[in-house]
Structure 1
Amino acid sequence: MARHGAEDYAATAYLRAQLKDAVAGVKRMEKEAVEKDVAFEERLASHAKAAASREREIIEDRDAKVAAAEATVGEYERKFEAVREFKEDYEKVEARLNAKSEECEELRRRLDQKAADGERRLIAERATLTREWEARFEDLKRSMEASVEDRYDSGVKRILEQNRRMVAELKLHSEVSAESEARARTVAQENRRLRRELDLRREMEGLFAKRGMKQKEQVVESREKMRDLERSMSDMASKYGAEIEFARAEAREVKASAVDDAARTRRLLRARSDELREIKALAKEAVRQRGELERFMISSLDLVKREMEAERARAGAGAGGRAGSRPAAGGLEEAVAGDVDVAGMSWAERERVLRLAFARMNASNPDHARDRRGGGSAMDGAVAEATPPAMI
């Protein structure tokens, strides 16, 4: 009898262990669900933080590139302005050089004209004076030869007079010659001065021409630099414009990806919340069924105990019956839960208690009854394995 009681206690302990494991599994599932929710919230926050950080980095990188491009464009604009000012200065210098060249050419023409006029006047004056003196000398010679013979005395006087006149004329001629020579020297000096000025002007013209050629080369080089700068500016504008558009597109993609991740996360969160609610509902149902099972077991054991005591009392009083009538099913609701001694029960009584308990459970849970009719539940199999066969 003690062995049967131990086996019956083992079956009851197995059922309680199964219920305890089920409750522990439900609690573990609730804990895992809470941990998953916390981990999901942390992952969502980390994704949002990473997206915000990436967006800030992209914006900062874009701002830095735009600032660098603006600085480069400003530098190129300053260089372009300097080249433009140099071009204007060169045009002014070139205009002045052209004006000076024209002035030098005019002065050269005037100097050449003055030199030619001076030479012509000098030659004309010399020729005139030479002709006059030759004519006078011929006249004097003819008059002297004509009057030598017939008028010697008077001729001598006239010769003396003519000599005096010739001396005066010679003096006048000397003065005129000196004046002409002085004028010739003055004209020569003026000519030399003008030639020096012409040489200086030519040297200045050569210097200006060299400077003009150098400035022209600088202008050509500056124009090449301007074209290079314009090409560089256009290339940089297209390059940085493409990079800015790429950064904006990347930022839009990151933002769209973050929005999609957030939407997927919200959907996953709703699904996990629904799953958690289902798990909580299942846990509540398992706890409720466990309580009902415990109440059914305790009430059934108490009812069987009272029936056994009543049967023993009737047997001791000589009522003549070994087994009393089965109480009505409504007596179970009137039974009071309490401690029951399982060791005093027979295997038939224990099987009766278990069958009564599972009948009440199936009656209160139609879905469980259908599962049992369809092939039995895991708990029925466990009870069937733990319960020994009925005694004959």
Structure 2
Amino acid sequence: MVFGGWALHDTYTTHQYAKASRGLITRACAGLVDADAVMRLDGGTDRVVLGGDEPRTVDFEGIPDGCVLSRVEERHGREVRIGQFTLDIKGLPQERVLHTVEDFPDEPFTTLGLGSQGDMTARTRLPDRMPLGDGRLGDYGPDDVTVVARCEQPAEAATTTLIVTATSPSTRDEAGDRPVLARLARQAAVGAAAKYGCRAQLPELPDRLPAPVVDLGPAAGDRSDSCGWYAAHLRTADGGTLPDRAAGVPLGGAAREEGCLLAVGPGATRRIHPTLGKEQRAHLDLDAVLRISSWWVRTRSYFGDDAAAFAVETPGKRIPDPVAPGTAGRLGDVLHGSATCQGRPATLTMTVPYRYRSVLGTRLDELFTAYATDAAARRGCTGLVLPPPE
């Protein structure tokens, strides 16, 4: 009977936790998301509390807006809080810096231990974003889904685009959470658009949400993804010191962002390294390149309002350097160009770490021209502006 009493007590307690959690989620996120769906993420939980260093709740008093929620678990006899769900509401064009690319960027690959014979560039830890359908609805990454509501006329504070992102840290490991997160993001975008006075027509979610592309394969061949420009370039260019691996994402004709990751595999690295000058070889230790500082290139294109919200983060500066539409240039490891697509701006970027720029030399300009020319032609852009030769 004692056991039965404890079981009833636990059931009652769980019920009370769940009831309180539903109410908290509804209040914190202003009814924009299904509370039960939020609680089911990452295998499910009955205890949800406000998360983050400073609790955030949706109040519709301005943009940006959002809510942060954590789950409570007992581990080793004590309660711990783990991120469960975050809803971010941002707007354009008033939020000028939405996309940033780092000068002196993070390595997109996991470094290898001393003496390791592994393959550093076989798999990226920072995959590019995937389009939702043709990209009109938005895009997604390993642990978040972003839905974009383009206002038919400017909404509150002259907002022309609402950007709603639903994030759950568990999604990276729980693929089944991705469709749930997508539905939550779209549901929140519909509600937020209505609340902020943004009249928008949102497409339905696609039937499938393939996992983000993390594996790099041969760059050459018949590619129809976001690295297709590079495969086409290789058909007429000498491979030489160029990357031999690529990870591209499906092309979305209306995507607000497109990315392609290129890298040099260990075999090609060992082939190229002996051809470098003596000083270069001394500076670019072969073992370090294979284990720690690989050779890679990353492109990212931004279109429409997103093109005007791009900046480059520079070491030592607290505020990123904004890049104005219609311009081109170089900011450390980042090259950028621009174009006009159906009357809207486009910002085209290519990031190449210094250690690999020194290997590519003048071929870097060749690469950027091939990438930017293809992107502009494919998206029907005019007025392509390229950075001057280095």
Greater relative contact order (Cα < 8 A, sep 6+) = 1
TM-score by length of 1: 0.17
TM-score by length of 2: 0.17
Between Structure 1 and Structure 2, the one with more strand by share is 2
Between Structure 1 and Structure 2, the one with more helix by share is 1
Larger radius of gyration: 1
